[in-house]
């Protein structure tokens, strides 16, 4: 998840920037005040306890607050992340938030602090009070609010500065200028995460085309075991002698050979690739386990699995048309061989898809339409998955 905290003194424009971040990244807003009011209104056990304390003139303790915020976070399990306002407010609550994230198998992404001089904040607040006819928002009140903010925020900044997750943002400028400064850092954070995608689809579904587009837009390297095998043959490498008998007979090359080729490709591109798009691999459940192991050795894992869904009749039409071109495959010769190839693919790959579905990694994409239409449907969920990587 993309989990952010936005600090800023009164008048820094924190509310406006929060709305823009939530809209851009589909974040859920978590405010201590709001979740307390909701818990009280809903009559939850913690809400009733908080109500009694508040009515008695006391402050709600961390024990109750952590339960209420924890419940609020769990209630938004389909959110792409959270934007926190008013929490944490103390050193203790900062540790509490870390603990909450740990229990939810996620973590805090980044803390932003909008830096605006006291004089500018005062000027903005006085202008806002004038525009909204708020006579109670005078210079004395504003000065007290700003002092209180700085007194409470300083210990928290010390806590987060040691974690290298704190970014200071110049809050002077137009709303869009300030948002661009924040958004550039969020984008940088997202784009720094390694990505490894498997692209599934029957023959004729357009895997190669979509894999190339993903590689281009996300800085990935395409890995096709078929291409790796043919490259070895063209180079006449030592391993090509082992490959040749299988290719000549149209047999599947043993996994032991394919593993070495994939590892070699990963080694060659490790320094200049953000990640990989695997097309045509894995084709079996055994290969799915193998790929998990190969990536684990590199400290990586599968980010998501794209499943291009195209009706059988459409696939047959596409493959039959391809049979009339220079890019035809051996099985494109007749309807019978095409159907046999599609049936073989179904038999082999359905268990592999089921394996990834058990891990909630599969994104089904409607593969009908032209290449750009399909890619438009594909790119959005991939981008969302990348944002949500832990």
Same domain for 238 and 325, yes or no, is yes
For residues 69-96, average pLDDT: 82
Q: Is 254 left (phi over 0), alpha (psi -120 to 50) or beta?
A: beta
Structural domain tally of the chain? 2
pLDDT given for residue 133 in this prediction? 80
* 127 and 230 housed in the same domain: no
Residue 232 inside a domain? The answer is: yes
Tell me the CATH number at 272. Answer: 3.40.50.300
Evaluate whether residue 42 is within a structural domain. no
Residues near 337 by beta carbon (within 8 Å), at least 6 away in sequence = 330, 331
Task: Tell whether the model's pLDDT for residue 11 goes beyond 70.
Answer: yes
Compute the distance between CA of residue 224 and CA of residue 61 in angstroms, rounded to an integer: 57
pLDDT at residue 161, as a whole number: 80
Average pLDDT over every residue of 288-298:
91
Residue pLDDT, tens place only, 323-340: 777 776 665 567 778 788
Residue 333, pLDDT score: 66
Beta bridge partners of 280: none
What is the domain range of residue 167?
2-27+79-191
What is the reported pLDDT for 312? Answer: 87
Contact call for residues 156 and 88 (beta carbons, < 8 A): yes
Do 199 and 316 have their domain in common? yes
Question: Does residue 250 sit in the same domain as residue 362?
Answer: yes
pLDDT recorded at residue 134 = 74
Q: Are residues 173 and 109 in the same domain?
A: yes
Does a structural domain hold residue 46? no
Q: Are residues 121 and 253 in the same domain?
A: no
Last residue of a domain, one of 164, 191, 218: 191
140 lies in some domain: yes
pTM: 0.63
Question: Which tens digits make up the pLDDT trace of 117-160?
Answer: 999 999 999 988 888 887 767 888 888 888 888 887 777 887 88
Label each residue of 297-320 as H, E or C.
HCCCCCCEEEEEECCHHHHHHHHH
């Amino acid at each position: 998840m993309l989990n952010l905290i936005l600090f800023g003194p009164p008048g820094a424009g924190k509310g406006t920037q929060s709305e823009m971040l939530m809209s851009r990244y589909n974040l859920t807003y978590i405010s201590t005040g709001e979740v307390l009011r909701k818990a009280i209104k809903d009559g939850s056990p913690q809400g009733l306890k908080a109500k009694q304390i508040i009515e008695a003139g006391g402050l709600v303790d961390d024990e109750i607050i952590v339960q209420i915020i924890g419940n609020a976070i769990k209630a938004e399990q389909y959110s792409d992340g959270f934007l926190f306002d008013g929490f944490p407010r103390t050193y203790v609550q900062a540790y509490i938030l870390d603990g909450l994230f740990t229990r939810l198998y996620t973590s805090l992404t980044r803390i932003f602090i909008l830096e605006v001089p006291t004089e500018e904040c005062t000027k903005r607040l006085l202008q806002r009070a004038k525009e909204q006819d708020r006579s109670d928002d005078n210079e004395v009140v504003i000065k007290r609010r700003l002092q209180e903010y700085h007194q409470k925020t300083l210990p928290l900044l010390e806590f987060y500065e040691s974690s290298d997750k704190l970014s200071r943002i110049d809050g002077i400028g137009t709303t869009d200028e300030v948002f661009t400064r924040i958004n550039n850092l969020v984008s940088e954070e997202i784009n720094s995460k390694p990505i490894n995608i498997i692209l599934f689809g029957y023959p004729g579904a357009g895997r190669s085309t979509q894999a190339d587009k993903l590689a281009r837009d996300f800085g990935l390297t395409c890995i096709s075991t078929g291409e790796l095998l043919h490259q070895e043959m063209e180079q006449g490498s030592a391993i090509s002698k082992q490959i040749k008998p299988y290719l000549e007979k149209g047999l599947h090359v043993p996994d032991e050979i394919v593993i070495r080729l994939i590892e070699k490709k990963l080694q060659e591109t490790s320094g200049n690739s953000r990640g990989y798009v695997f097309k045509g691999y894995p084709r079996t459940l055994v290969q799915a386990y193998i790929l998990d192991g190969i990536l684990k050795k590199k400290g990586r894992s599968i980010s998501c699995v794209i499943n291009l869904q195209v009706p059988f009749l459409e696939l047959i039409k596409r493959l039959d048309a391809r049979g009339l071109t220079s890019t035809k495959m051996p099985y494109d010769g007749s309807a019978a061989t095409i159907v046999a190839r599609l049936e073989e693919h179904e038999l082999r790959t359905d268990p592999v898809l089921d394996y990834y579905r058990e891990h909630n990694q599969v994104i089904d994409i409607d593969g009908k339409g032209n290449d750009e239409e399909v890619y438009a449907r594909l790119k959005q969920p991939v981008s969302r998955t990348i944002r949500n990587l832990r």
